[in-house]
Structure formats: C-alpha cells, structure tokens
Amino acid sequence: MGSLRSDREAQGAGRERPGATAGAGEGQLSIRAVGKIYDPDGAHVVALDECSLEIAPGGFVAVVGPSGCGKSTLLNVLAGFDHLTSGEVTLDGQPLAGIGRVPDPGPDRVVVFQNGALFPWFTVLDNVTYGPVRQRVLSRAEARERAMALLAGAGDLDRIADTYPGRLSSGMQRRVEILRALINNPKVLLLDEPFRAMDTVSKSTMHQHLLDIYDRFRKTIFFITHDLDEAILLADKVVVMTTRPGTIKMTIEVDLPRPRRRDMATSNTFLELKRQAIAAVHGEARKAFERGERELA
Ligand code: ADP
C-alpha cells in the first residue's frame, strides 16, 4: 500500500497543495461499451447499454440522470459488487470488469453510500482503522497513527476519535466514512448520493469538506447525484445519462477554477452550465415519465 499524504501531515509537513498527491497519475477508469441486463425470472431489464466513459486519473466526475437510468448499476460494476453483461472496465489499464469476470471488490475502489455504513458499536477511530487492520495491511498502531492524522487533517475530527457514530450528526458520520475510505489509499472513491438526505446548510458544509479532501488527495471520484448544483460545484465533468437503458447522453465540462467556492454558484459560467444540464436531464426525465417510470431528476 502506498503512503497516504497524511503521512507527511503526521510528520508535521502540514497541509499539501492540490495536484501534488501520493498516487498522482493513478485512478484512470476506462468504461468501454458496458452493458448490463438484469434477468430475474426472465424479466430482462436492460439497465445499461453501450455505456462508455473515460475518467482521467484524479478526475472528479458527477453522474446525473433520471431515476432508474442505471447510475447505481454502473457504480456497482465499478465497485466490483456486480458483473456486467457486455463491454469492459479497466482501472489504470488493468481489467476490472469484463464478460465472465467474477465481480471483485477491492480496497482500491471504496464506496460511500447515502445511508452510511459505520459500525455503530465501534468508536470513530476503530471504524477508520477497521479496514487496513482487518486486511492486515497495517498494524493496529500504524493504522491508529494514520487514522489520527487523517482525522486531525480533516478539520480537527481527532477530537471525536473516541466517540460512537450514534452520537454524531449525519454530516459528521459521512465525513468519518470518507476518511475511513481514504485510509485504504484507494485509487477511486465511489460516492452514491452521499448527501442526499441532508438539509441545504449541512449539504453545503459537506460540499466544502469534500472539496477540501479532493484538493488534498486528488483521488478519482465517481459521484452520483440528483442535484445539478452539487454536480457542477464539485465535479470537473458532469455526465448526463439517458433514461433506461442507460448510456451517456452528454458530458458537460465544468471549467470553473479550483479551489472551488460556494459563491461560484452565482457566476455566469455556472448558470450557463446549469442551463445545459437542466435541459439534458429534464429531456431524459420526461421520456422516463412518459414511459411510466418515476421522475426524480
Ligand atoms: P438509478 O441508480 O439510476 O436510479 P439503477 O441502476 O438502480 O438506477 O437501476 C437501473 C434499472 O435496473 C432500473 O430499471 C432498476 O429497476 C433495474 N434494476 C436495478 N437493480 C436490479 C436488480 N437487482 N434486478 C432487476 N432489476 C434491477
């Protein structure tokens, strides 16, 4: 396992600047002509069809599209939770998913879900150290040192190291979860609507935390959302999927500078990008609606 940038923080090197990351150049995802058919009891649901997408190392992609268009299906294939029916996915040139390939989750691709997945009976520190200790990648002492550096580097979260998740707000829980993912030094973070259930203020705070983490670690991020403002504020590319069978309808390049700030959401550039995204997503949502599927986009 390569070293996390927080190693340097632990040694007093302070906060690192965007771009110069451990693992820089890693995390290139190539999704090529991916298809996925669910066929429980002969239902033959074509969830994804000829879905192709290139994500650069350290790229931040937000995926939007009508409910049921296959966003989670694609994430599950990337995570190694499910197999695909056609096409292939590579990570840094290595096969990740392909026809006949058994799904293979790994610490190089970590998922953070909307509803969270912290162990309620473990403290924050034990939650963050759980993965590398369990996988015997780090000794308990090494994992604790690394976890404390990560927690301290993320806005003084070391103060909650001994707290149980049940005593934390959902925003705090989500922050801990992202750090729990980062301790594995993954190449890719897969985020499935992590802030969906939050109120506007909490969501905005979480955006700032995630942007800070992205600027510091520059991990490749695949982020599913229904929130177009969130997608544009966070990502380099907003990928709009078609209604089912899901494929890529268009990719909107977000040329807002980094570090991103909340007030960019009122700039003309942002509003123009949002106009494009609304037109694309709502066109697809209408098709889904007319087909009798739920319209949530
Ligand atoms: P999204 O995340 O965009 O809302 P999903 O990837 O969850 O969409 O679902 C895509 C389509 O595949 C939907 O029509 C959904 O009903 C169907 N689907 C998802 N999972 C399964 C499954 N395990 N079995 C059968 N159909 C499924």
- Interval 194-235: pLDDT, tens: 998 889 999 999 999 999 999 999 999 999 999 999 999 999
| DSSP-assigned letter for residue 158 | G
pLDDT band for position 288 (cuts 50, 70, 90): confident
Instruction: Evaluate if pTM is beyond 0.85.
Output: yes
Q: Would you say the CB of residue 72 lies under 6 angstroms from ligand 1?
A: yes
Ligand 1 probe mutation, 45, 191, 196, most atoms within 8 A of CB: 45
Residue position matching structure tokens 């030094």 = 185
Residue, of 8 and 59, whose pLDDT is higher:
59
Distance, first Cα to last Cα, the chain: 39
As given in the structure block, the two tokens for residue 20 are: 């110069």
Share of the chain above pLDDT 70, in %: 90
| CATH number for the domain formed by residue range(s) 1-16+26-108+188-297 | 3.40.50.300
Domain extents for the chain? Answer: 1-16+26-108+188-297, 116-185
CA angle 75/77/80 to nearest 5° reads 110
Q: Would you say the CB of residue 66 lies under 6 angstroms from ligand 1?
A: no
